[in-house]
Structure 1
């Protein structure tokens, strides 16, 4: 699944939901780089993608993580055990959590619960520090002569980076450029929603990160949730409008005793209104079902931001 034959989209099968969580394999001159890897349960899908691309595990030079949230990076330790020549590239703030994932596991357990972590994420293993490469802003990864540029893109998380591939003139955006599920496409193209999931959402840095991505005049974005999208200027403007609307919703709901319920209801109304205006083919109930998990997480993330901002 790809427009550029050197870029392979891998469905990680997260939450047993198709076309929901993507990782990517970039192939150049017989060498490979994974960008994100999903959970530990996704390792067979990652290895199968290598096989389909005609590569062995020894041909992978890099695993680049956009950030260390578990749906992007939970399987990194287990996958790295299968890739003898690979090094892990990660944001400076994320690197300690890959070497020692104890706090990462604890934070995710607080959000999702122990049962969900065990059922949906699989083993979360450390990566040896001597295999970890710190990607400061402007760090370049050399994939057999193909340059992959990593830039610092806070807003969704403080440990987030995006990866620019000059060859395809596209960004691998993790969660910085929002969520876009193919079920919500219309004749206008992709429908997009920001992601403010806990615990480090920060609206102004996120808008600045989006502007930085757009400044490169990309032809496409490769999103984790989900896949390749074009018409990026329109989508970027949509994201900024919604971030501002979400901030307004947060302030409106903040003093309410039922703040969480208020946030969920208002976010649902915002996204349904925009989906209708976009011409989404699904009815309101179906749109709500597609976005239910993200609405809940966005409400939690807004609450974290409101409480942190107040402090």
Structure 2
């Protein structure tokens, strides 16, 4: 634990150091930021045990957003933490109180067997234990202020957490993904995550600029861990990549097999970026380590394209 912050591997995905949650401890009080899936609850409790804290010491479970790899285990975790409140964006709160729509959507996408294997189901969060986070709201964790900021772009129900004590943001997915396997000489490599269904490039770039404006020392991303020392450069490169990805999507909007064409174009973009960064064997390692992210990014860009086309048609008709 450094500065009261512990990185917890939630165990989600098919490799270690893929999906993180965070345990913050101050003056004997604790908060989790994100919590993984139902299967991740033992990992969260083990982190608490390792910190020498009882379960009643946890005041907050903060969900950066309600995608299941971040908050699918929130309701089940609350059952184990008698004093904790669930903190979530107002747009996301209804889906954790009544998760039936989230469950139905995930089952439709993944099928019943894969859904159970990956996520294990969702337990509803008691409405009386939910705090709907206002933009700029400050939580008190044992005298340590945690500021909640609405940061859309990846999702409309996304929030980030500013910890002044460590000069760090906990950014969920809005500050991209940055696997430690791509670090070169201590310098992190990151790509945006534009997964469906609410990616918005303007909002994402604005949110990244908001995070950079306070000159953070660290951005703790969910996938995976802390981006340190090079935060401004990483953020500016993320903004550049958002523009590049949007340009690719627009160029390929009418391609015969748009999804496959987008995946190939995104792969080339990330390989080229990784090579410039100094990553060894980028032609092999980027498709290998980013396969799921490339698939989801292509899906998200396609959803955004169709939404933009619908807006254009409505503007012409109106």
2:152 corresponds in structure 1 to 154
Q: Which residue of 2 aligns with 1:246?
A: 245
Which stretches of structure 1, 4 residues or more, deviate above 6 A after TM superposition?
A: none
Q: Distance in 2 between matches of 1:146 and 1:241?
A: 34
Alignment match, 1:186: 184
Partners of 1:64 and 1:89 within 8 A in 2: yes
Q: Which deviates more from structure 2 when the two are superposed, residues 124-133 or residues 97-106?
A: 97-106
Equivalent residue for 1:270? Answer: 269
Q: Is the 8 A contact 2:147 2:162 kept in 1?
A: yes
**SS of corresponding position for 2:76:** helix
Distance 1:139 1:64, change over 3 A: same
Contact 1:11 1:20 in 2 (8 A): yes
The Cα of 1:252 is off from its aligned counterpart by 1.1
Equivalent residues in 2 for 1:175-254, closer than 5 Å: 175-187=173-185, 189-230=187-228, 231-254=230-253
CA gap 1:18/1:188 in 2 versus in 1, 3 angstroms: closer
Q: Is the 8 A contact 1:187 1:279 kept in 2?
A: no
Match for 2:101 among 100, 103, 112? Answer: 103
1:277 and 1:108 map into 2 onto residues whose CA distance is 37
3-state SS in 1 of match to 2:286:
helix
Instruction: List gaps (5 residues or longer) in structure 1.
Output: none
CA offset digits 1:110-135 (Å, max 9, x no partner) = 33333221111113110010000010
Normalization by structure 2: what TM-score? 0.95
Tell me how large the CA RMSD over aligned residues is: 1.0
SS at match of 2:290: helix
Q: How far off is 1:103 after superposition?
A: 1.1
Give 1:188 shift: 6.0
* 2:285 is aligned with 1:286: yes
Query: Are the counterparts in 1 of residues 274 and 282 from structure 2 also a CA contact under 8 Å?
Result: no
Verify: 1:296 aligned to 2:279, yes or no: no
- The answer to whether the 8 A contact 1:153-1:206 is kept is yes
Residues 67, 160 of structure 1: 8 Å contact kept: yes
User: Please, what TM-score do these two structures have when normalized by structure 1?
Assistant: 0.97
Conservation of the 8 A alpha-carbon contact between 1:184 and 1:282 = no
Does the CA-based 8 Å contact 2:267-2:286 persist in structure 1? Answer: no
Aligned twin of 1:257 = 256
How many angstroms does 1:144 deviate by? 1.0
Aligned residues of 1:156 and 1:201 also touching (Cα < 8 A): yes
Q: Which runs of 5+ in 2 are unaligned?
A: 311-318
SS for the counterpart of 2:32 is strand
Q: What corresponds to 2:23 in structure 1?
A: 25
Contact (CA 8 Å) 1:78, 1:123: kept in 2 or not?
Answer: no
Please give the alpha-carbon distance, in whole angstroms, between the structure 1 residues aligned to 2:186 and 2:242. 21
The 5 A counterparts of 1:37-52 are 37-52=35-50
Instruction: Provide, for residues 95-119 of structure 1, a one-character-per-residue CA deviation record: whole Å limited to 9, x for no partner.
Output: 0001001111222233333322111
Structure 1 CA distance, aligned partners of 2:284 and 2:114?
Answer: 25
Contact between 2:151 and 2:207, CA under 8 Å: does it hold in 1? yes
Residue of structure 1 in register with 2:72 after alignment: 74
Match of 1:55 in 2: 53
Structure 2 equivalent of residue 308 of structure 1: 307
Residue equivalent to 2:130: 132
**Contact persistence 2:271–2:282 (CA under 8 A):** no
Change (3 A) 1:217 1:146: same
When residues 253 and 110 of structure 1 are mapped into structure 2, their CA distance, relative to the original with a 3 A threshold, is farther
**How far apart in 2 are the matches of 1:7 and 1:140?**
18
Q: How many residues end up aligned between the 2 structures?
A: 309
